[in-house]
Chains A and B, each alone.
Chain A
Amino acid sequence: MNATRGLLKVLLWIEIAVCVLTLFVGSGALVADVIAREFFGNGIFGAQRFAVWATAISGLVGFALVTAERGHLRPQFTDKWLPASWDPHMERISDIVSAIICIALGWYAIEFVKSSYALGERGMAIPIKLWPIQLILPWMFFSSAIRHVVFAAFPVLRPEPKGEMH
């Protein structure tokens, strides 16, 4: 379990670094673009496109960060429809089902990236190949799936939820 805890910590650290950095540089690029346009008459070439991708990386990789702290919005009104004695099992079942859904979505995300790679899709304004950026899609789902599997296997590693909706 300690090894798993360590693995989750490293994963969390990497994802925090990626998300914070991309949000910072993406917002910085936009601010610089607007200031350049307002005060010098010309914006910065490609800044908006760069910011779009940076925001996408930050927001989608961040999906896994929110999973890590169980912060996704969850409607709770159906919780009372099942007997309270089922509660301890329900947490585990919930994580297993979430993991299955995330793995399925991750699989389709890989298919999407493969097709983008095969077609050689490139970005507008900045014509780089898109598939390396699109890898965030499988990443967000598989990283979340890993967390759900770990929470189901080791409930002690599951944090208190933050995103419950009453």
Chain B
Amino acid sequence: MDWLILLGLIVLLLLLRQSLVLVLAVATAYIHVFIAKSKIDYLIQDFWFTVDREVLLSIPLFMLAGNIMSKGSIAKRLIGIMATLTSPIPGGLGIACVLSCAAFAAINGSSIVTMLAIGSIMYPALVAKGYKKEFALGAVASAGTLGIIIPPSIPLILYGIMTERNIAHLFVAGIGPGLLLTLLFSAYALYMNRHMPREQLTLKAALESFFGGIFALLLPFILIGGIYFGWFSPTEAGAMGLAYALLIEFLIHEKDGAQPAPAGAGALQKVRHYFATREMHLKEFYEVLLETVKLLATLLPLLCIAGSLNTILDHSGAPKQMVQALVGTIEDRWVLMFMINVLLLIVGCLMDVGSAILILAPLLEPLAVAKGFDPIHFGIIMIANLEIGYLTPPVGLNLIVAMAAFKESFVRITKACIPFVIIMLFWLVIVATVPSLSLYLVGK
């Protein structure tokens, strides 16, 4: 009866147009008082205990670094290198779009940031070069989702926090599936654009784009290499990524069309001119900080409430009972995995990735582990499912953001993504059924 009242309360709050964070707060308060027979005070205590933990520190760092990279010219320079390298291949720019998203995904942890940073340059370029609009839209929206499977990844950090699993292992486990999806998308881009004219690759153009983007290109190697070889923890990788991004955007990368210093300028004037012609200045940095605060402030309270919900459910023993009941009812582990995948795909259509992880990861992970799935592998399966949710209506965030960014209708973008979603479903089957794809690099 208590659970029915809770459901009714949630529906009522949704009808009253409450934000997700307030709906969850009231629902959690209700569970504290009426189901767990504890006190609302604990909800606020849990709020504090959730934010008072070092493990959260990597989130603002990756958010801030991602926003700096997106605002500066790192994305543009990565695209320059990929476009030059793939120019001799038919449909090379389509492949360059996928590879640029993969490279950008390897230095930031967000799908939306990846799609906007690469898509805002790639989409008009693809259309101008004669690629079909449907392909261009589908490619930028879909390849943008690589941002959350290729490390660093904010959803993987959230999964690690909620299930208390090693975030560095989760990052390393995301490399194989991320590379496979990049390969599948690239193959599709090649097949679809096989009749597009090739372009000649000259050594001069290759060297120019390489040296123009060398500092941007080093970043994925530093971050992923650092995490893989154990040089950096995820938080340290976030700090290094942030420091490196600030360094190259404030001190090294030059703005397009910057004029040389006036002839006869003094040393001080030359120094001033040098800083004035860099990609990022204090004003842009302030805007990036403010943008990051808003992102963090949307996520952090949700994380606090999910933390409290997790604690109280754990205390009440409800997830344990659910696991025991389901494990007893469903004998075949693959039937269970299939059902979890279907559930996650449906959830991906209706909820944003962060909320889905915060609510479902602590419930589903023990279930999968009880049936013999590796918890790190399951984390990757969960993120892979929710990654598809970025492209499925009604709450496919990449679809919604692409609609605003590329000024196209929701229906057109959704249709453009269908072939890519089919590829992703095929990829999901491989990710779920071949654990070594995720676990080989982790050493399991």
Q: Which residues of A contact B (CB under 8 A)?
A: 16, 19-20, 23-24, 26-27, 30-31, 33-35, 37-38, 48-49, 51-53, 55-56, 58-63, 65-66, 69, 71-75, 77-79, 81-82, 90-91, 93-94, 97-98, 101-102, 105, 108-109, 111-112, 134, 137, 140, 163, 165-166
Query: Does B395 touch A at the CB level, under 8 Å?
Result: yes
Chain A residue contacts of B238, Cβ below 8 A: 30
Chain B contact residues (Cβ within 8 angstroms of A): what range? 35 or more
Taking a contact as CB atoms under 8 Å apart, the answer to whether A90 and B17 are in contact is: yes
Given contacts A101-B26, A108-B43, contact A52 B57 (CB under 8 A): yes
A-B contact count (CB 8 A): 178
- Is B75 part of the binding interface, using a Cβ–Cβ cutoff of 8 Å? no
A108–B64 CA distance with the chains assembled, in angstroms: 32
| Mask of B75-103 contacts with A, CB within 8 angstroms, 1/0 | 00000000000000000000000000000
B6 within 8 A of A: no
Given the complex, which residues of B lie within 8 Å of A71, measured CB to CB? 294, 298
**Which residues of the partner chain B approach A163 to less than 8 Å between Cβ atoms?**
19, 298
The one of B23, B61, B298, B352 that contacts A30, using a Cβ cutoff of 8 Å:
B61
Q: Once the chains bind, are A77 and B239 in contact (CB under 8 Å)?
A: no
Cβ–Cβ < 8 Å partners of A102 in chain B: 22
A101, A140, A166: the one contacting B400 at CB < 8 Å is A166
User: Considering only CB atoms, which chain B residue lies closest to A111 in the complex?
Assistant: B41
Beyond A52-B51, A59-B293, list 9 extra A-B contacts (CB 8 Å). Answer: A35-B243, A52-B57, A59-B296, A61-B297, A63-B300, A78-B11, A93-B16, A98-B18, A165-B20
Q: Which residues of B contact A91 (CB under 8 A)?
A: 17
State the Cβ distance, A41 to closest chain B Cβ, in Å.
Answer: 14
**Cα–Cα, bound, A4→B366 (Å):** 51
Q: Judge whether B41 and A108 touch: CB under 8 Å.
A: yes
Q: Does B163 contact A (CB under 8 A)?
A: no
Chain B's closest residue to A138 (CB) is B44
Q: Which residues of B contact A27 (CB under 8 A)?
A: 60-61, 64, 239, 242
B residues whose Cβ falls under 8 Å from a Cβ of A? 11, 13-23, 25-26, 40-41, 43-45, 47-48, 51-54, 56-57, 59-61, 64, 232, 235-236, 238-240, 242-243, 286, 289-290, 292-294, 296-302, 350-352, 355, 393-395, 400
Which chain A residues border B53 with CB–CB below 8 Å? Answer: 52
**Complex CA distance for A63 and B293, rounded to whole angstroms:** 9
Q: In the bound complex, what is the Cα–Cα distance between A55 and B400 (angstroms)?
A: 29
The answer on a CB contact under 8 Å between B41 and A34 is: no
How distant is the Cα of A108 from the Cα of B352 in the complex, in angstroms?
A: 29
Say whether, besides A24-B289, A30-B239, A166 and B394 are in contact (CB < 8 Å): yes
Q: A30-B235, A101-B26 are in contact. Are A19 and B61 (CB under 8 A)?
A: no
Complex CA distance for A35 and B352, rounded to whole angstroms: 35
CA–CA, A166 and B240, complex, Å: 37
B-chain residues with CB within 8 Å of residue A59 when the two chains form the complex: 51, 60, 293, 296-297, 299-301
**A31 CA to B238 CA in the complex, in Å?**
9
B294: contacting residue among A49, A55, A66, A165, CB under 8 A:
A66
The answer to whether A60 and B17 have CB atoms under 8 Å apart is: no
Are B57 and A77 closer than 8 Å at their CB atoms?
no
Query: Of all chain B residues, which has the CB nearest A70?
Result: B19
Q: Smallest Cβ distance from B40 to chain A, in angstroms?
A: 5
Q: Which residues of A contact B52 (CB under 8 A)?
A: 52-53, 56
Closest residue of chain A to B58, judged by CB? A30
Known: A23-B289, A27-B61, A78-B15. A55 touches B296 (CB 8 A): yes
* Contact (A48, B54) CB under 8 Å given A20-B286, A31-B242, A165-B20: yes
Q: How far is the CB of A50 from chain B (nearest CB, A)?
A: 11
- On whether the beta carbons of B19 and A33 are closer than 8 Å, the reply is no
Give the one of A49, A53, A55 with max B CB within 10 A: A55
State in angstroms the CA–CA spacing of A87 and B217 once bound together: 51
Top-5 shortest CB links A-B: A62-B297, A59-B300, A72-B19, A94-B17, A56-B51
Query: A19, A56, A61, A74: which contacts B18 (Cβ < 8 A)?
Result: A74
Provide the bound-state CA to CA distance between A75 and B395, in Å.
Answer: 9
Q: Enumerate chain B residues within 8 angstroms of A81, measured Cβ to Cβ.
A: 15
**CA A66 – CA B299 in complex, angstroms?**
11
**Distance to closest chain A CB from B343 (angstroms):** 18
Q: In the bound complex, do residue B236 and residue A34 qualify as a contact, i.e. CB atoms below 8 Å apart?
A: yes
In the complex, how many angstroms separate the beta carbon of A141 from the nearest chain B beta carbon?
A: 9
Q: Quick one: closest A residue to B22, CB to CB?
A: A101
Determine the chain A residues whose CB is within 8 A of the CB of B299 once the complex forms: 59
CB-nearest residue of chain B relative to A106?
B44
- Known A16-B290, A101-B25: A82·B15 in contact at CB below 8 Å: yes
Contact in complex: A52, B56 (CB < 8 Å): yes
The answer to whether B19 and A73 have CB atoms under 8 Å apart is: yes
With A62-B297, A101-B25, A165-B352 as given contacts, are A77 and B394 in contact (CB-CB < 8 Å)?
A: yes
